[in-house]
Amino acid sequence: MPKINVDGKDLIANDGESILNVCERNGIYIPRYCYHPSLSVAGNCRMCLVEIEKMPKLQTACSTIASEGMVVKTDSEKVRKARKDVLEFLLINHPLDCSICDQVGECFLQDYYFTYGLRKSRFKLENKNQKQKRREVGKYLVLDNERCILCTRCVRFSNEVTKTDELFVNSRGDRAFIDISPEKGVTNKYSLNIADICPVGAFTSKDFRFKQRVYMLQTTKSICTLCATGCKINIWHNNNTIYRITPEPNIYTNTWMCDDGRMNYKIVNSSERLTHSMINGTEYNKRQTVKQVFNKLSKAMDDKLRIAVVLSNYLSIEDNISLIYLAKNVLKTPYIFSIESNQQKIEDGILINSDKSPNSNGIKLLVKKYGIKDISEYAEYDIVIGFYEDIKNLRISLVKTILFSYKKSSYPCLIALKTYFETDGSFINWQGYLRKTAKVVNSPENTFDLHHFLMEVSHLFAVYPDFNFKGIIKDLKYKEEGQ
């Protein structure tokens, strides 16, 4: 554990830790372009140069390992000048058309210029280097090579994270540009991370560009529900509209996220969205729906039909608890089942899980707590209540169903639900961490929070629940971050 001194402060470094990281841990920010905590060190942008006593030249903080007794200056005259000079070099061939660039607001070139540069351009020549503009890269990205500062974060991402080696630096000197391996193309499932890590406006997201300035957007932390990995995410939204999703890097689950997860928000306003409950081809509003379902169920109970309630790995713990409550206390049916989830495994070695449901582990805990059986043990029911996605997995003949869904489909009785972006809910990811989705936008008027809907049905049966979700969830054996 070497002791070093940075700007007069004595700091203790971990063995093998770079100066940049030691400083970062202790609240001293060193500007950088090529350095990224999750990629290898390239040391090429020269923005993080610091002064170290006894070394004649300035050193890059990202690549210099802290060693005993080092005296580092991160804010000396020499360092400030070096930063200014590097910025000047970066900007001479950069198109200064910020007003029409989509990176504004999260552009490190712009931000650092205001913090460290602020020098009037001395580049008075007419002939700026011109490079390829607006190149389509894969399904989700656009590349503007003129804006590129050649930090090579994107190249290292494709080499080290996805290991697909699609990107490389072509040519050399100031003619160098980011190019795409012709036989590969950018087809990896994580391509939008490149737009995130690009410190300037070279790589932008086709989906997001020119929709909103980032400083107009609010971010809300949530989780991705597209598979059991349960990545932590930031949802960027404004005026009741979601514009993009980016990962919220954390040490527990994810630094990156997949492209499909980012596009997941599109369901909110998609044409496939179920905005009204549909029963036998008729649209119903909220009040009517509750009434209809109540009638159906009470008739079934009078006729002594066998009603099965199927818990869903896709629904939150709250919704599943409500389903159990409905089955046990309202319908008084013994037929409560769970569906076995797929095997949980990171199938591509990065993030995508082979289990596509977000809450399998939550269900496992509920199954244990309430002694619920797997559905494969039973065969024939008169009415099945469950989530529409699960129906294809049910190996039983179906007479009648009452299904919850947020997507349109051909089943006769569909109850319209709020999406993961419109309601709060608790999920337990494949590692056992309890995480919550957050409500970021308002839902269409006639969609339900599932647990509210179930409670309303109970009320019509004159059953008034006396539990709270918090208490039940607290008793479940989930892991907490930091443990």
Q: What is the binding site for another protein (CB under 8 A)?
A: 41-47, 49, 56-58, 60, 63, 65, 82, 85-86, 88-90, 92-93, 122-123, 125, 127, 129, 149-150, 168-169, 171-176
Residue 356 CA to residue 429 CA, distance in Å, equals 11
157 vs 421 by CB, closer to another protein:
157
**Sign (positive or negative) of CA dihedral 206, 209, 214, 219:** negative
Query: Residue 48 or 450: which CB sits closer to another protein?
Result: 48
Which H/E stretch holds residue 110? helix 108-112
**Nearest distance, CB of residue 112 and another protein, angstroms:** 12
CB closer to another protein out of 174 and 475 = 174
Residue 247 dihedral angles phi and psi, to the nearest 5°: -70, 150
Can you tell me the distance from the alpha carbon of 236 to that of 89, in angstroms, rounded to the nearest whole number?
33
Q: Give min distance, CB of 165 to another protein, in A.
A: 12
Nearer to another protein, 145 or 429 (CB): 145
- Whichever of 150 and 417 has its CB closer to another protein, that residue is 150
CB of 175: closest distance to another protein in angstroms?
Answer: 7
Collect all residues with Cβ–Cβ distance below 8 Å to 74 and sequence separation of at least 6: 6, 7, 23, 28, 30, 50, 51, 61
From CA 225, how far away is CA 340, in angstroms rounded? 18
DSSP label of 342: P
- Half-sphere CA count of 280, side-chain side, radius 13 A: 4
Q: Which is nearer to another protein, 85 or 382 (CB)?
A: 85
Residue 399 has phi, psi (to 5 degrees) of -90, -60
Half-sphere exposure of 298 (CA within 13 A, CB side): 12
First to last CA, the chain: 25
Angle at CA 114, nearest 5°, toward 234 and 65? Answer: 70
Closest distance to another protein from the beta carbon of 105 (Å): 23
CB of 108 to another protein, least distance (A): 13
Phi-psi group of 88: left, alpha or beta (phi > 0 → left; psi -120 to 50 → alpha; rest → beta): alpha
| Least distance CB 272 / another protein (angstroms) | 47
Cβ proximity to another protein: between 48 and 331 the closer is: 48
Residue with tokens 């949980």: 344
Please identify, using beta-carbon distances, which residue of 92 and 472 lies nearer to another protein.
92
Looking only at the bridges linking them, the beta strands covering 177-180 and 218-223 are: unpaired
Q: Least distance to another protein from the beta carbon of 122, Å?
A: 6
Report in angstroms how near the CB of residue 24 gets to another protein at its nearest: 19
